[in-house]
Amino acid sequence: MKFCKLFLICALSNAVFAEENWPEYRGPEGDGHAVGADLPDKVDESVVKWRTAIHGKGWSSPVVWGNQIWLTTATEDGAQMSVLCIDRTTGNVIHDRVLVENESPAFCHPMNSYATPTPVVEDGRVYVHFGTYLTACLDTATGKEIWSRRDLACDHHRGPASSPILHDGKLFVAYDGFDVQYVVAFDAEDGSTLWKKDRSIDYGTDNGDRMKAYCTAHVIEVDGKEQLIYPSAAATIAYNPQTGDELWTVYHAGMNASARPVFQDGLLFITNGSGAMVAVRPDGQGDVTGTHVQWSDRKGVAKKSSQLLVDGLFYMTSDDGILSCREPATGEMVWQKRVAKEFAASPIFADGKIYLFSTAGEVLTIRPGREYVLLSKSELGDGYMASPAVVGNDLILRSKSHLYLIRK
């Protein structure tokens, strides 16, 4: 009887604390952490419960609400842009809708795709974004459009990539283009514009290729007040999420910023997309470049993937396959090791382990800590540009051509 009671308590604890949904890029808290999951150490064919082929080319990460998995894709030439909904239980396709048809789509770099921005999902609604081509809200039961916006213009130059985030009834989107750069807050209910702010950044150049960015925002709380942190090329701006008023700016050089910032213990960690990063204290006003940067570095810094903070240590996977561990407060390197050929997908922390996914299809599992401990290295699929999702005890992976559900 005691054993039965103990088993029931453990089961209920897991049910309570496991993530029930993975609503946006990098999960419920935007930090790549999956709470309460029980996942296999080794990710290979033996733990694949189902796989579903995904047509077209798209690097958007899967998002999950209940038994629905949502992602976007597009034809490689950008002529059609689509949204898909996959049944988490079976892997069957529930919805597959073409949302945009383009007679003459703008150029997209081969490294990018026309469906790179990750959707956002909540109860009854999914928000999809294809840059200036379309931002729309769909009904999750029918896949039908609730509202859409096609009037926000910019020259993405090499394709859109910034993912929207949903917070306090607002959908935040950045349009950091070759020609213009601005941030918009949409009313999530009806798609109307609540505020729109041009980037007040001195880029130090007239070359639009050095002004574009692919960043995803993050909302943090400092001294009881919320800040919308939105990186761009050359600098990052903190906005008041209610009004769009600027709170502070930090200059960090670089272009093509794409990683989502992470925040812990009073420090905000930002990578600039050109292989450098800063750790900044977000409690200043105006230009805080000379006063609030705790440390900066260029060694082993990721250009595409987002960072991970676990148990007081800072982890990062660089584009050239290097995994590094640092002291968050100082930036001091704890260890560094080449573990794969190339990374673009962001790492996650789940079940006491860090999972890494390379562009060649390598999957590594390591134990976090002050020494590099490899638990498993395997191969699955044809490579990963999208970052994973975790719901309950399910690990959901999007490779370049398939969607996988992994479970013990």
* pLDDT tens digit sequence for 184-226: 999 999 999 999 999 999 999 999 999 999 999 999 999 999 9
- Using 50, 70 and 90 to split pLDDT, how confident is the model at 275? confident
* 283-299 average pLDDT score: 96
The predicted structure's pLDDT at residue 2: 39
Query: Given a cut of 60, is residue 112 above it in pLDDT?
Result: yes
* 46-65 average pLDDT score: 98
- Using 50, 70 and 90 to split pLDDT, how confident is the model at 12? very low
Q: Report yes or no on 391 lying in a domain.
A: yes
Q: Report yes or no on 16 lying in a domain.
A: no
The predicted structure's pLDDT at residue 181: 97
- Could you list the residue range(s) of the whole structural domain that residue 106 is in? 22-406
Query: Given a cut of 50, is residue 25 above it in pLDDT?
Result: yes
pTM of the predicted model as reported, rounded to 2 decimal places = 0.94
Q: Report yes or no on 4 lying in a domain.
A: no
Query: Given a cut of 70, is residue 383 above it in pLDDT?
Result: yes
The predicted structure's pLDDT at residue 17: 56
Q: Report yes or no on 273 lying in a domain.
A: yes
The predicted structure's pLDDT at residue 6: 42
Tokens representing 399?
């490779």
Q: Report yes or no on 8 lying in a domain.
A: no
Residue 135 forms beta bridges with which residues?
129, 149
**What percent of the chain is modeled with pLDDT above 90?**
89
Number of domains in the chain: 1
Query: Given a cut of 80, is residue 288 above it in pLDDT?
Result: yes
Q: Report yes or no on 86 lying in a domain.
A: yes
User: At 99, which CATH number?
Assistant: 2.130.10.10
Query: Given a cut of 70, is residue 34 above it in pLDDT?
Result: yes
Average pLDDT, the chain: 94
Poorest-pLDDT segment among 12-21, 39-48, 178-187, 206-215: 12-21
The predicted structure's pLDDT at residue 3: 39
Q: Report yes or no on 2 lying in a domain.
A: no
Q: Report yes or no on 6 lying in a domain.
A: no
Given a contact cutoff of 8 angstroms between Cβ atoms, the answer to whether 220 and 226 are in contact is yes
Query: Given a cut of 80, is residue 10 above it in pLDDT?
Result: no
* 273-290 average pLDDT score: 94
The predicted structure's pLDDT at residue 257: 84
Question: 328-377 pLDDT, tens per residue?
Answer: 999 999 999 999 999 999 999 999 999 999 999 999 999 999 999 999 99
Distance (Å, whole) CA 324 – CA 160:
28
